[in-house]
Structure 1
Amino acid sequence: MKDLLFDVNDGIATITLNRPNARNAFSMQMIELWIQALQKVRDHDDIRVLVLTGNGRSFCAGGDIKAMKSGKGFLDLTGYEKEDFSSSSLERKNSLWKHVQRIPILMEEIDKPTIAAVNGDAIGAGLDMALQCDMRISSDQARFGEGYVNVGIVPGDGGGYYLPRIIGIDKALDLLWSGRIIDAHEASKIGLITKMVSHEELMVETNSLARRLADGPQQAIRLIKRTVYQGLKTDLRTSLDMVSSFMGIVTEHPDYKEGLSAIIEKRKPDFE
């Protein structure tokens, strides 16, 4: 079986991490298929929303700790084989950059909504992958943690970038320095997840949100995403200048006229 499954159904793409017996820990095949799937999501306009989830009891455990201990392959929290890390620090850096770090770069290039359906433990790089999504819907059985410090390494997959932006610097450092595991209730309290639901309702809730976004005005949704993320990197004047350009674009799109008509006629809009 493939270590990652990719499916597109009526505008909603779903990436399912598929190593349930290994808690969906990374493998080289998983990373390669992940990159290919993200490229398709980025480049195909018929895909409107991306959902990321895991098969089995875990969302993603990051690196394969059992493989590390057995010596069969040095799968640390980046997920790469021993030979990639044996020669020099530069080669180890380049291996990260060419493989697993392509995932957050591709995620940043996707203008469409991305949702993590966290079905179980999201640990280390697994948590980082959930953080890369725009929203995180979590099972009440899920647990979260940044385990890098426990094996004496640094977060190599974006945790040090995303975590403080989502929950604040002090709370991020608490999780990163302690390596402790928190449950979904604490994750909800500190703002790590968007919403917590019962385990049984996780995919129902996630698919309902994905459907609502997929049926919405796509150009407006994508430009709103750009506005939010670019706004984190620019000053107010630059952001307002950009969004005024966006407004000029969307008000010429058929979705704008359809939205106005639907409000006036008190009906559900039928966006393109």
Structure 2
Amino acid sequence: MSPTLPPLTDARLTLEGRVATLTLDRHDVRNALTGSALADDIVATAQWVNRCAEVSVLVITGAGSAFSAGGNVKDMANRGGDFAGDVSEVAARYRRGIQRIPLALQEAEVPIIAAVNGPAIGAGFDLANMADLRLASSTAKFGETFLNLGIIPGDGGAWFMQRLIGYQRAFELTLTGRVIDAEEARELGIVLEVVEPEALMARVGELASRIAAQPPKATRLTKRLMKMAQRTELKDFLDLCAVFQGLCHNEPEHLEAVNAMLEAMVKK
């Protein structure tokens, strides 16, 4: 029986071959993460993949010409929507709204691939950086443009980018607010690959399927280890590896994978 997909408002979710694809579907506002239900949809999807054993990879992409334009600039100009009110009201709205995205994606147990189909600007850039892997269309652009609008990366972008490309490069992009093309993003290490627009989802699907073909429980444990390695001392980390390895050795999928490898060796 197929797993029940969570109800979403402004995004579409599909599941095929252990790969879930979340498509941000508010192209009328260039998939802005404020002034829409996209934050709720992203959080609901991240929580769902953690509960759904049939999912091994989550792909996030955008419908239309943009991956995500980030915050709704019209709401900023009108001091409305998520940006209305005094300091405490705005701060509370950030915590209840867009800041739930990095927390939910950081807790996602499966690998996340961002298929950046077009401009990823401001919080949209940060959303891409919250993924584990990023593949981009040659038409994609990236910009940490908050300072251009007199605001800071309120969604945690400064935390993610410097861990991705180092403090100095992240500092330059954040403080200048300049927009870079897909090729420069690849050279900086933000993007893994750049492909032509018509080939993006096929290439992402190929990579996602390769990962999804791995033993699913060990895949989730490996992602947890990769994340924990960033904040754990080596001795403590090795202790954790030992326990996780014990779990893996006692899973049927381990024996199945070993037997499959032995059979392949015999055939050679």
> Is the TM-score greater than 0.5?
yes
Match status 1:68 vs 2:66: no
Corresponding residue of 2:12: 5
Is 1:257 the equivalent of 2:263?
Answer: no
Alignment equivalent of 1:101, drawn from 99, 117, 121: 99
Aligned partner of 1:111 among 109, 112, 116: 109
Letter in 2 for 1:32: D
Matches within 5 A, 1:1-272: 2-26=9-33, 27-69=35-77, 71=78, 74=80, 80=82, 82=83, 85-86=84-85, 88-266=86-264
Unaligned residue ranges in structure 1 (runs of 5+) = 268-272
Structure 1 residue 67: deviation in Å? 4.0
Tell me which residue corresponds to 2:5. none
> Please, which moves more after superposition, 251-260 or 186-195?
251-260
Offset at 1:37? Answer: 2.1
Deviation, 1:63, is 1.1
Q: How big is the alpha-carbon RMSD for the aligned residues of Structure 1 and Structure 2?
A: 1.7
Instruction: State how many pairs are aligned.
Output: 257
Normalising by the residue count of structure 2, what TM-score does the alignment of the two structures yield? 0.91
The one-letter amino acid of 1:21's match is: D
Write the distance in 1 (CA, Å) between the matches of 2:178 and 2:200.
24
Q: 1:265 to 1:167 in 2, by over 3 A?
A: same
Cα distance in 2 for partners of 1:124, 1:198 equals: 23
Single out whichever of 217-226 and 174-183 deviates more from structure 2. Answer: 217-226
Residues in 2 aligned to 1:96 and 1:21: alpha-carbon distance in whole angstroms:
23
Amino acid at match of 2:14: D
Counterpart in the other structure of 1:270: none
Identity %: 37
Q: What is the letter of the counterpart of residue 52 of structure 2?
A: H
Deviations 1:217-263 (A, max 9, x none): 11111111111110110111111111011111101111211222122
Code of the residue aligned with 1:29 in structure 2: it is A
Q: By how many angstroms is 1:2 displaced?
A: 4.6
1:55-113 deviations in Å (ceiling 9; x for gaps): 111100101223434x3x635xxxx2x4xx31x32222121111211111111111111
Amino acid at match of 1:121: P
Give the CA deviation at 1:11: 2.1
Preserved contact between residue 39 and residue 100 of structure 2 (Cα < 8 Å) = no
| Paired residue secondary structure (1:61) | coil
Distance (Å, rounded) in 2 between the aligned partners of 1:262 and 1:10: 20
SS at match of 1:51: strand
